[in-house]
Amino acid sequence: MESTTQSSGVSKASLWTGRIITVVIVLFFLFDVILKLVKPALVVEANRQLGYPEHLIIPIAIALLFSVILYVIPATAVLGAILLTAYMGGAVATHVRVDGPLVNIVFAVVFGILVWGGLFFREPRLQSLIPLKH
């Protein structure tokens, strides 16, 4: 009897790799959302240094939470990945604009890549669009 993961075109190893990457990404973003919603002084000050006033922290958190929810729902995962990539692109642009440390820029780029990596390994439609094997 063939498993459903095999019949959908995604190997078990690929599916679990995608799930693990996805969990790490989602936990990171949810931690970011919680910090933004709680708004400790450190978060308010960091956002101020990046040029974002305090009244925008909650709307940013809500946008991020909405994007994460879309990312974890299989039917809307691609849209969620697009929105999360845009969010991380905004982080890159912000850090470049304020002449932030290179590590912050690289971190945002790597997380943007991981968003798509997590989706790639668990989504057969994406694997067919971007074949890594010949």
pLDDT in tens, 48-99: 999 999 999 999 999 999 999 999 999 999 999 999 999 999 999 999 999 9
If one counts every other C-beta atom within 10 angstroms of the C-beta of residue 24, the result is: 13
The string over 46-60, giving b where at least 16 C-beta atoms fall within 10 Å of a residue's C-beta and e elsewhere, is: ebeeeeeeeeebeeb
- The pTM for the full model equals 0.85
| Per-domain residue ranges of the chain | 10-129
If one counts every other C-beta atom within 10 angstroms of the C-beta of residue 75, the result is: 7
The reported pLDDT for the residue numbered 4 is: 45
Per-residue DSSP letter, 55: G
pLDDT over 70 percentage in the chain = 91
Contacts of 51 by beta carbon, 8 Å cutoff, 6+ apart: 94, 97, 98
Long-range contacts of 46-51 (CB under 8 A, 24+ apart): 49/98, 50/94, 50/95, 50/98, 50/100, 51/94, 51/97, 51/98
The reported pLDDT for the residue numbered 1 is: 39
The reported pLDDT for the residue numbered 133 is: 64
Tell whether the model's pLDDT for residue 124 goes beyond 70: yes
Gap between the Cα atoms of 97 and 82, Å rounded:
22
